[in-house]
A and B are shown apart, each in its own frame.
Chain A
């Protein structure tokens, strides 16, 4: 009993007089003015906690890009195909150095860099961003199905924060995963002769913008959906076209006209282009300034639309 009294006394000490009321005082304890970021951070943190507390999910999400890197990047090593005697024309005795030089020029012309592995590694950074964004939409479907969304919406948390938190957590996850992919790629032999701190920062900035835009798009698609299968179908329908219709895997210059046109509007191309220019020093599709401007517009437009739609769609 005496313990209790001391605890009570301490409680009173901690609380400033006239400030926030003690637990027993019901008079106006319900009305607490809150900063809009409080709820936003709580929601984002919840998503992140579920992710980092479950390393299996993290590992699983990394397997695919790493496999692609290993299979395509190493097996389809175009650089090796064109150089080191793998490439010879019968009857013509061309000196090896010339073939190698020709090969290098070919590589530079086609891929803008001398090895395909590095070329693909940068593409994989965009790949992981796209895939993480796609599945960020799934979590809101679950939240709706399980009633968590209703619970959150019965609190005074800003409606925009609900969608914003999903976008933010997806961006943070993407960047962490991209960092891991980048480190793995370097360990596996990515060309780092041109790497700079600014280059890395610029690349991640572009990935963040890409993630913002795509997360917003996939969340919007999921906003009214109550069925995770529908959402899965949408994701499956979109992921490969988006990936192959970009310069992430292959350079656009050898694609048919119509596909090139799609590559030009696909934001993945711009993020990848920035990465290649800033990490590999490769020649690009456009100027860095234009690439960044395009991505910023993409991210801003869809985040804003996403938040505006969430206002309308979340209240039935």
Chain B
């Protein structure tokens, strides 16, 4: 619908040495201490590149929301600096605010107003002239498929509709960076998929940079260009999903051979790509390797050529779950139940108001 080939960028991003990507956010040793004792964010340093989807992963209380709050100028860092779109979050917060959109963890739309009124309210906060904001509101409502419901009060909206409305509100100023704090929390699988589809569409249509936190690792894996895993306020790992998974030492090949007294470990180790071999039992080996799908047949060939027969083989690729577990010591699955519950409570409290 729109011609988006010409992306004119403001000249305040810096060229990055590796890959020539433009840096849109620079975070340097950012730290937040609450009440002098609670260290919520403990000196994080990273860059976010223009046009990427950057995911922030971490267990409850890791400091994700606090980081987003500082980058969106809601919280004053205890120390450290950050620039967003080339503007210092402390020195020129208003310039930052003009260029970002925020979709917070909670539903913040006004229940007593209609969807359309909510969007127009956001537009007015950015000082967008009416004639433009009306057009944009229609366009965004169409994008998130809320046209039919736009004149209904938000209190009649379902969770998914509210999320979509929040998305639309966060986009009204056509931000260069959109911050999403757990955009799919508390939504069912279908709605989650739909929200992600919108987010992808938005990124393509507006060429935005997305900074998001999520607890759904499959989503982070599938959508994010890069991921930072944060725990206890510190970034423990940063990289593309593939890099993170590779950091686990690659794929795991489990091999069953005919029982024999010979230790086949040296033989298997000599195969290309194999990184680590462990004899689990006299007839079973556990191999860590890169490019498992290529290595496995080579291992079989190597064994066969020496007269050993392989009678069982399995290949497991590392998942982001395993990475997360290894780095934070917590399984993300255990947490999701609690979180959905917390979200419910929040919704109930909100209802009690009306």
Please give the residue numbers on chain A whose beta carbons come within 8 Å of chain B beta carbons, in ascending order.
4, 11, 14, 20, 22-35, 38-39, 41-43, 46, 49-50, 53-54, 142, 145-148, 150-157, 315-316
Kindly list chain A residues whose C-beta atoms are within 8 Å of the C-beta of B94: 156
Kindly list chain A residues whose C-beta atoms are within 8 Å of the C-beta of B157: none
Q: Across the interface, do A147 and B122 meet the contact criterion of CB distance under 8 Å?
A: no
Kindly list chain A residues whose C-beta atoms are within 8 Å of the C-beta of B105: 147
User: With A26-B174, A30-B99, A155-B126 in contact, is A148–B112 under 8 Å at CB?
Assistant: no
A-B contact pairs, 11 of them (CB 8 A): A23-B139, A28-B8, A38-B127, A49-B113, A147-B105, A150-B69, A151-B102, A154-B100, A155-B97, A155-B125, A156-B125
Kindly list chain A residues whose C-beta atoms are within 8 Å of the C-beta of B132: 20
Chain A: CB-nearest residue to B166: A151
Q: Does B3 contact A (CB under 8 A)?
A: yes
Q: Does B76 contact A (CB under 8 A)?
A: yes
Q: Across the interface, do A34 and B2 meet the contact criterion of CB distance under 8 Å?
A: no
Q: Across the interface, do B73 and A154 meet the contact criterion of CB distance under 8 Å?
A: yes
B100: min CB distance to chain A, Å: 7
What separation, in Å, do the CA atoms of A286 and B273 have in the docked complex?
A: 96
Kindly list chain A residues whose C-beta atoms are within 8 Å of the C-beta of B81: none
What separation, in Å, do the CA atoms of A150 and B124 have in the docked complex?
A: 16
User: With A28-B10, A50-B113, A146-B108 in contact, is A153–B126 under 8 Å at CB?
Assistant: no
Q: Across the interface, do B3 and A24 meet the contact criterion of CB distance under 8 Å?
A: yes
What separation, in Å, do the CA atoms of A182 and B107 have in the docked complex?
A: 41
Kindly list chain B residues whose C-beta atoms are within 8 Å of the C-beta of A142: 353
What separation, in Å, do the CA atoms of A60 and B270 have in the docked complex?
A: 85
Q: Across the interface, do B125 and A26 meet the contact criterion of CB distance under 8 Å?
A: no
Q: Does B145 contact A (CB under 8 A)?
A: no
Interface residues of B in 83-129 (CB under 8 A from A): 94, 97-100, 102, 104-108, 110, 112-113, 117, 121-122, 124-129
- Chain A CB count within 10 A is highest, among B100, B117, B174, for B174
Q: A24-B205, A28-B8 are in contact. List 8 more A-B contacts (CB 8 A).
A: A26-B4, A42-B125, A43-B125, A147-B108, A154-B73, A156-B97, A156-B127, A316-B75
Q: Across the interface, do A154 and B350 meet the contact criterion of CB distance under 8 Å?
A: no
Kindly list chain A residues whose C-beta atoms are within 8 Å of the C-beta of B135: 11, 23
Q: Does B216 contact A (CB under 8 A)?
A: no
Q: Does B308 contact A (CB under 8 A)?
A: no
B130-169 to A contact mask, C-beta < 8 Å, 1/0:
0110011001000000000000000000000000000001
Please give the residue numbers on chain B whose beta carbons come within 8 Å of chain A beta carbons, in ascending order.
1-4, 7-10, 69, 72-76, 94, 97-100, 102, 104-108, 110, 112-113, 117, 121-122, 124-129, 131-132, 135-136, 139, 169, 173-176, 205-208, 349-350, 353
Q: Across the interface, do A26 and B74 meet the contact criterion of CB distance under 8 Å?
A: no
What separation, in Å, do the CA atoms of A160 and B7 have in the docked complex?
A: 36
Kindly list chain B residues whose C-beta atoms are within 8 Å of the C-beta of A28: 8, 10
User: With A30-B176, A53-B112, A151-B104 in contact, is A146–B350 under 8 Å at CB?
Assistant: yes
Contact of B127 among A25, A26, A35 (CB under 8 A): A35
What separation, in Å, do the CA atoms of A28 and B8 have in the docked complex?
A: 8
Q: Across the interface, do A24 and B127 meet the contact criterion of CB distance under 8 Å?
A: no
Q: Across the interface, do A150 and B127 meet the contact criterion of CB distance under 8 Å?
A: no
Q: Across the interface, do A150 and B176 meet the contact criterion of CB distance under 8 Å?
A: no
Kindly list chain B residues whose C-beta atoms are within 8 Å of the C-beta of A25: 2
Kindly list chain B residues whose C-beta atoms are within 8 Å of the C-beta of A26: 4, 7-8, 174, 176, 206-208
Q: Sort A-B residue pairs by CB-CB distance and give the 6 closest, nearest first.
A: A34-B127, A24-B2, A42-B124, A27-B8, A147-B106, A155-B125
Contact of B121 among A20, A29, A42 (CB under 8 A): A42
Q: Across the interface, do B108 and A148 meet the contact criterion of CB distance under 8 Å?
A: yes
User: With A23-B136, A30-B175, A315-B76 in contact, is A46–B110 under 8 Å at CB?
Assistant: yes
Q: Across the interface, do A153 and B110 meet the contact criterion of CB distance under 8 Å?
A: no
B63: min CB distance to chain A, Å: 15
Kindly list chain A residues whose C-beta atoms are within 8 Å of the C-beta of B8: 26-28
Chain A: CB-nearest residue to B172: A155
Chain B: CB-nearest residue to A11: B135
Q: Across the interface, do A148 and B110 meet the contact criterion of CB distance under 8 Å?
A: yes
What separation, in Å, do the CA atoms of A157 and B74 have in the docked complex?
A: 13
